[in-house]
């Protein structure tokens, strides 16, 4: 850069500074040709980390259905898996069917004290207790229904 260019640039800066100050603003000096300090950029999250942060109700139910299937295969004929939905305040629903209602929403269909019921809830406000119950000889083996991505499956 020539001396004339440097002088012209300095005059322009001074004129700009005077204009800014006349408007009552503070002029912050620019830092030219000063390298930025070295900072490390956090690595992008892995696919597993991303999926763990954004677990949908559908993912939860798919994993639960797979677990119930595996569990059912390991149990003797006179036992079956069951799910009990436990809500705040101690309300308990014997689950007959779970359905994904939105990304984090679930619909629980079941019974409370023998009466049919349905609950719509955010997945984080329900605890699902899986347990084994004995099948009486005169009863048939109960199935648990899952509706995930619009497809119904009984396990």
Q: Return the residue matching tokens 């440097």.
A: 6
Domain positions in the chain are: 52-154
- Both tokens of residue 115? 């009466």
In the predicted model, what is the mean pLDDT of the chain? 80
- Closest by alpha carbon to 59, among 123, 118, 109? 123
pLDDT attached to residue 152: 86
The pLDDT of residue 61 is 87
Angle of CA points 98, 104, 109, to nearest 5°: 20
pLDDT digits (tens, 9 = 90+) for 118-143: 999 999 999 999 999 988 765 567 78
Spatial contact of 94 and 143, defined as CB atoms under 8 Å apart = no
Tell me what pLDDT residue 59 has: 85
Q: What is the pLDDT of residues 81-119, one digit of tens each?
A: 999 999 988 899 999 999 999 889 999 999 999 999 999
Buried b (16+ CB within 10 A) or exposed e, 89-120: eeeebbbbbbbbbeebebbbbbeeeeeeeebe
Residue 80 has pLDDT above 70, yes or no: yes
């Amino acid at each position: 850069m020539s001396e004339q260019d440097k002088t012209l640039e300095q005059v322009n800066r001074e004129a700009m500074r005077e204009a800014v100050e006349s408007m009552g603003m503070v002029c912050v000096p620019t830092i030219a040709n000063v390298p930025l300090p070295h900072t490390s950029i956090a690595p992008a999250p892995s696919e597993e980390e991303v999926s763990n942060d954004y677990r949908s109700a559908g993912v939860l139910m798919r994993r639960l259905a797979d677990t119930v299937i595996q569990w059912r295969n390991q149990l003797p004929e006179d036992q079956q898996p069951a799910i009990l939905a436990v809500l705040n305040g101690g309300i308990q629903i014997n689950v007959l069917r779970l359905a994904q209602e939105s990304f984090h929403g679930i619909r629980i269909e079941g019974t409370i004290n023998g009466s049919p019921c349905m609950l719509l809830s955010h997945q984080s406000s329900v605890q699902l207790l899986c347990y084994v119950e004995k099948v009486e000889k005169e009863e048939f083996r109960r199935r648990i229904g899952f509706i995930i991505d619009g497809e119904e499956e009984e396990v």
